[in-house]
Structure 1
Amino acid sequence: MCGNWRVRIFRRKSELNFADLHSNLSGLGLATTNLGAHVAILDLDDPTGVFKQLGSQVRFFEVDLGEEISEDIAAVVCCAGILGRAKILGRQNIAFSIEVFQKVVAVNLIGTVDVIRQLLPYTATQTPDGDGERGVIIFTVSLAAAFDGQPGQVAYSATKGAIASMTLPLARDLVQHGIRAVSISPGLFETSVVTDMPKKANDSLQRALEFPSRPGRSDEVAELVGHSISNSMLNGTMVRLGGATGMPSWL
Structure 2
Amino acid sequence: MKLADHVFLVTGGASGLGEATVRRFVAAGARAVIADFNEARGQAVADELGEAVRFIKCDVGAAADAEAAVKAAIDAFGRIDGVINCAGIGTPAKAVGKGGPLPLEQFERVIRVNLTGSFNMIRVAAAAMQEQTANDEGERGVIINTASVAAYDGQIGQPAYAASKAGVVGMTLPLAREFARAGIRVVTIAPGLFITPMMESLPAEAQASLGSQVPFPSRLGRPEEYAQLAQSIVENAMLNGETIRLDGAIRMAPR
Global fold match (TM > 0.5) = yes
Give the distance between the partners of 1:216 and 1:27, measured in 2 at CA.
11
Deviates more, 1:169-178 or 1:14-23: 14-23
Measure the CA separation in 2 of the matches of 1:54 and 1:131.
Answer: 30
Mapped to 2, the partners of 1:248 and 1:192 lie a distance apart of: 23
| 1:22 and 2:11 matched | yes
C-alpha distance in 2 between matches for 1:175 and 1:19: 19
How far did 1:14 drift? 4.6
Task: State the Cα distance separating 1:40 from its structure 2 match.
Answer: 2.2
The question of 1:87 aligning with 2:103 is answered no
> For 1:112-131, what aligned pairs fall within 5 Å after superposition?
112-131=118-137
Given candidates 93, 102, 121, the residue that maps to 1:96 is: 102
Q: Which piece of structure 1 moves more, 110-119 or 46-55?
A: 46-55
- For residues 131-168 of structure 1, give each alpha carbon's deviation from its aligned partner in whole angstroms, at most 9, with x where no partner exists: 3221111112122x212212221111101001011111
Amino acid at match of 2:51: S
Aligned to 2:199: 194
2:130 partner letter: A
RMSD of aligned alpha carbons:
2.0
Q: How many residues align?
A: 237
Alpha-carbon shift at residue 236 of structure 1 (Å)? 0.6
- Of Structure 1 and Structure 2, the greater helix share is in 2
TM-score normalized by the length of structure 2: 0.84
* TM-score, normalised by the number of residues in structure 1: 0.85
**Equivalent residue, structure 2, for 1:240:** 245
- The Cα of 1:178 is off from its aligned counterpart by 1.4
Further displaced range: 171-180 or 46-55: 46-55
The Cα shift of 1:233 comes to 0.6
- Relative to structure 1, the CA distance from residue 112 to residue 22 in structure 2 (aligned partners, 3 Å threshold; closer, same or farther) is same
Change (3 A) 1:17 1:176: closer
Amino acid at match of 2:63: E
Distance 2:141 2:21 in 1: 18
1:208 matched residue in structure 2: 213
- Structure 1, unmatched stretches of 5+, are 1-11
Residue 67 (structure 1) aligns with:
62
Aligned equivalent of 1:39: 32
Q: 2 CA distance for matches of 1:34 and 1:60?
A: 13
Q: Is the 8 A contact 2:13 2:19 kept in 1?
A: no
TM-fit CA distance, 1:202? 2.6
Q: What amino acid sits opposite 2:98 in the alignment?
A: R
Amino acid of the structure 1 residue aligned with 2:85: C
Q: Secondary structure at the match of 2:63?
A: coil
Matched-pair contact (CA < 8 Å) for 2:148–2:192: yes
Structure 1 residue 99, shift from structure 2 partner: 0.9
Could you list the structure 1 runs, at least 4 aligned residues long, displaced by more than 4 angstroms after superposition.
Answer: none
In 1, Cα distance between equivalents of 2:243 and 2:44: 33
SS at match of 1:163: helix
Cα distance in structure 1, aligned partners of 2:191 and 2:14: 17
